[in-house]
Structure 1
Amino acid sequence: MTVTWWMLPLALALLSGLLCPLAGTLLLVQGRLFQANLISHAVLPGLAVALALGLDPGLGGVVSGVAGALLAERFSRPASSGGRGDEAVLNTVLAGFLGLGVLLIPLLRIRVNLEAVLFGDLLAAGLPDLLRTGLSLLVVLGLLSFRYRQLVFLGVDPLGAASSGLAVGRLRLLLTFVTALTVVSAMTAVGVVLVIALMGAPALLALEGAISLRQALWRASLIGALLAGCGFLLAIQPAINLPPGPLIGVLSLLLLPLVLRRRDSAG
């Protein structure tokens, strides 16, 4: 038996670790990280419908995830009016789309490994998963290359960005699409539930002490790759033999004391 069987899953873990924190950092600086949590649950109906139609599940997941985010935004109140009740709207849409996805599986009579969808299955990764994640990373890098200054403006002063004529709605729609693409791409690595940990924890640590958004982005991406790579290599050790996705989620939790320590030292 060759020792190279783990190389493709490791490559996917590293790419997911690079990708997820980039989108997570952009959402975090705008105070919209919960949108990633919403999208990660809203992709399930699209995955089910795409499988039933014989289409690429990733395509269905992106469409469904964006639809869930747009629906939540439609029923949320603008920030200028206080936005009270927005959390209830987001949680309701999240639960509704997740429930719809679970119901569609028996209704459409399709076979879906829910555990793999929710928590990932790196050991079952194939070349299409790797290519999809690599393409998603290129899309995110493209967004950063062409819209970096606008994203900084939107993160620092969203009201000022809107009043200056910046197409805030269009930019947020692009970010929503990129987030959905990120979630679907990381589905094989950590699943649609645990992806939020890989998007949030590295971004939290990277933003502490960062002097620019660019610095926070590359820091978060590096931390995410290290987290995902170490989590995978640790999981496949014979003495441990645990699912990589959940283990990466637990390692993300262990970053929180480092965030607190940085905050205390900075204060």
Structure 2
Amino acid sequence: MDSAWWMLPLLVALVVGCLCPLTGTLLLLQRRLFLANLVSHAVLPGLALALALRLDPGFGGVVSGVAGALVAERFSRPERPGQAGDEAVLNTVLAGFLGLGVLLIPLLGLRVDLEAVLFGDLLAATGWDLLRSLGALAVLLSLLGWRYRQYVYLGVDPLGAASAGLPVRRLRLLLTLATAFTVVTAMTAVGVVLVIGLMAAPALLALGGASSMRQSLWRAAALGTALSGFGFWLAIQPGVNLPPGPLIGVLCLALLPFGAKALP
């Protein structure tokens, strides 16, 4: 098989497979994983506006995704996760931003391949997609190296972290930005709808039996990389010929029973 055409998409799949579980693990430890789902839907209005203004769609998606997360946090209580009404706020913001994005496309007269945006088109990945995914991974690793101990504290005891004077709001905003970068980067590989599975399933499995957050992070990254690589390889096999993004999403679902058993 000629490797010229599939090498670049494979590299994008591997980088995204490493990036998504790292972000997902941080969110899962803080019990904020639904934020990734919200951001993944909230990027659509920004993508539409950026296309209309002839700007980089990735930039518009990040701005819109962060805006959706900030609106949700404004009307919920992030310092007290699980409060009644918070899920209603998050779901309302998610639906509202998604609906706004869908409305903007015909209103602005745009021609957008919604199927590719929602479910990914990994085989159409470009060198720019690879550079953007590597940049997002570098940003996240830099954030972990800079604020690792504070994120450990925030994940274990958020109220204690606030009482100890940690910049909780700033830490959450930085993670929200990283989540938006991750979602926009993964859009090419698995789409904005399926990215949540790649964030959640490897992180869930990696947490079982882990002795530290660092161990959970590297386990999740290794598992996500293997999952994305295998999903892409399987999708391009003769006789299979399936879209890699949805197939990777199905493989994430297959991990769920193992992840549930791994948790204490």
User: Is TM (by shorter chain) over 0.5?
Assistant: yes
Q: Answer yes or no: is the 8 Å Cα contact 2:31–2:81 preserved in 1.
A: no
In structure 1, the residue matched to 2:111 is 111
Shift of residue 114 of structure 1? 0.2
1:14 aligned partner, one-letter code: L
Q: Answer yes or no: is the 8 Å Cα contact 1:186–1:195 preserved in 2.
A: yes
In structure 1, the residue matched to 2:52 is 52
In structure 2, the residue matched to 1:39 is 39
Shift of residue 84 of structure 1? 1.3
Alignment of 1:68-79 (within 5 A): 68-77=68-77, 79=79
Q: 1: CA distance between counterparts of 2:150 and 2:3?
A: 46
1:241 aligned partner, one-letter code: N
| Structure 1 residue matching 2:166: 3-state secondary structure | coil
1:116 aligned partner, one-letter code: A
Q: 1: CA distance between counterparts of 2:74 and 2:230?
A: 40
In structure 1, the residue matched to 2:244 is 244
Q: Answer yes or no: is the 8 Å Cα contact 1:187–1:195 preserved in 2.
A: yes
Q: 2: CA distance between counterparts of 1:78 and 1:154?
A: 12
For 1:222-247, what per-residue CA distance to the aligned partner results, in whole angstroms no more than 9, with x for missing partners? Answer: 00000000000100112110000000
Q: 2: CA distance between counterparts of 1:80 and 1:197?
A: 25
Please give the TM-score of this superposition, normalised by the length of structure 1: 0.96
| Structure 1 residue matching 2:6: 3-state secondary structure | helix
In structure 1, the residue matched to 2:29 is 29
| Structure 2 residue matching 1:239: 3-state secondary structure | coil
In structure 1, the residue matched to 2:150 is 150
In structure 2, the residue matched to 1:13 is 13
For 1:109-155, what per-residue CA distance to the aligned partner results, in whole angstroms no more than 9, with x for missing partners? Answer: 11110000000000000000000000000000000000000000000
Please give the TM-score of this superposition, normalised by the length of structure 2: 0.98
- Runs of 5+ unmatched residues, structure 1: none
RMSD of equivalent CA atoms = 1.3
1:160 aligned partner, one-letter code: G
1:87 aligned partner, one-letter code: E
Q: 2: CA distance between counterparts of 1:140 and 1:225?
A: 16
Q: Answer yes or no: is the 8 Å Cα contact 1:40–1:180 preserved in 2.
A: yes
In structure 2, the residue matched to 1:123 is 123
1:235 aligns with 2:260: no
| Structure 1 residue matching 2:5: 3-state secondary structure | helix
The alpha-carbon distance between structure 1 residues 107 and 237, as it changes in their structure 2 partners (threshold 3 A), is same
How many residues matched? 264
Q: Answer yes or no: is the 8 Å Cα contact 1:194–1:245 preserved in 2.
A: yes
Comparing 71-80 and 227-236, the one that deviates more = 71-80
In structure 2, the residue matched to 1:205 is 205
Alignment of 1:117-196 (within 5 A): 117-196=117-196
The alpha-carbon distance between structure 1 residues 198 and 80, as it changes in their structure 2 partners (threshold 3 A), is closer
Q: Answer yes or no: is the 8 Å Cα contact 1:77–1:84 preserved in 2.
A: no
1:31 aligned partner, one-letter code: R
For 1:175-222, what per-residue CA distance to the aligned partner results, in whole angstroms no more than 9, with x for missing partners? Answer: 000000000000000000000000000000000000000000000000
1:239 aligned partner, one-letter code: G
In structure 1, the residue matched to 2:253 is 253
Q: 2: CA distance between counterparts of 1:173 and 1:78?
A: 11
